[in-house]
A and B are shown apart, each in its own frame.
Chain A
Amino acid sequence: GDSVTQMEGPVTLSEEAFLTINCTYTATGYPSLFWYVQYPGEGLQLLLKATKADDKGSNKGFEATYRKETTSFHLEKGSVQVSDSAVYFCALTRNTGGFKTIFGAGTRLFVKA
């Protein structure tokens, strides 16, 4: 069945460091891929998405590229801030007659000043 695997956290970085959070997926067909962010005490928010191979999603300095050959959608940011501290979820959605969304387990990011 479909699945999403994220790197385990927590990830701890200093402010202005480079961030990579790895995400790989298993799915038949051509899913759409998403990153969501969850700040403490809040619901998930859509951060960025990519709907076909080689698409790059970007938002708020975060980027991820849909790599079909490696079935990956790694999240990157060139310079993190303390305010980026949150839990990040990778997800895929695939048309199954209806459509099905699978979330990764989430990766907690701590950014130190």
Chain B
Amino acid sequence: EAQVTQNPRYLITVTGKKLTVTCSQNMNHEYMSWYRQDPGLGLRQIYYSMNVEVTDKGDVPEGYKVSRKEKRNFPLILESPSPNQTSLYFCASSSSGQSYGYTFGSGTRLTVV
């Protein structure tokens, strides 16, 4: 089944403790992206990757890191999480080109206390 898999689904952590949210897709998509979803703010792009070793900032990159060492994986790293990073995070992938829509993961609900 074609899918984007995120882990974990739920995570509670403490301020300053480094964490990684994993994302993997099995569709050989070139393009991958991370979004956060907050009430009243919709979806905001954090980082995206056009292909292996090619990443760039989205609209809200502060406090986040990403890497794309393999085509299928695009982990999101929070080096020193803070409470304002409490949010619902989505990974998404797409074939290259503007006419393709995204396939989204099921989401990771992160709480930083």
Contact = CB atoms under 8 A, between A and B. Distances in A.
Contacts of A101: 33, 45, 102
A89 B107 contact: no
Nearest to B33: A101
Given A42-B107, A44-B90, A98 B102 contact: no
B99 A49 contact: yes
Contact of A89 (B33, B40, B43, B45): B43
Interface string B69-111: 0000000000000000000001010001111011111110000
The binding surface of chain B is classed by DSSP as strand
A94 to B, nearest CB: 6
A62 interface: no
Interface residues of B, number: 24
Interface of B: 4, 31, 33, 40-43, 45, 48, 50, 56, 90, 92, 96-99, 101-107
Interface of A: 31-32, 34, 36, 42-46, 49, 51, 89, 93-95, 98-99, 101, 103-106
Sort A-B residue pairs by CB-CB distance and give the 8 closest, nearest first: A43-B104, A46-B101, A105-B42, A51-B99, A93-B98, A103-B43, A44-B104, A99-B98
8 contacts: A42-B107, A43-B106, A46-B101, A49-B101, A94-B98, A101-B33, A104-B42, A105-B40
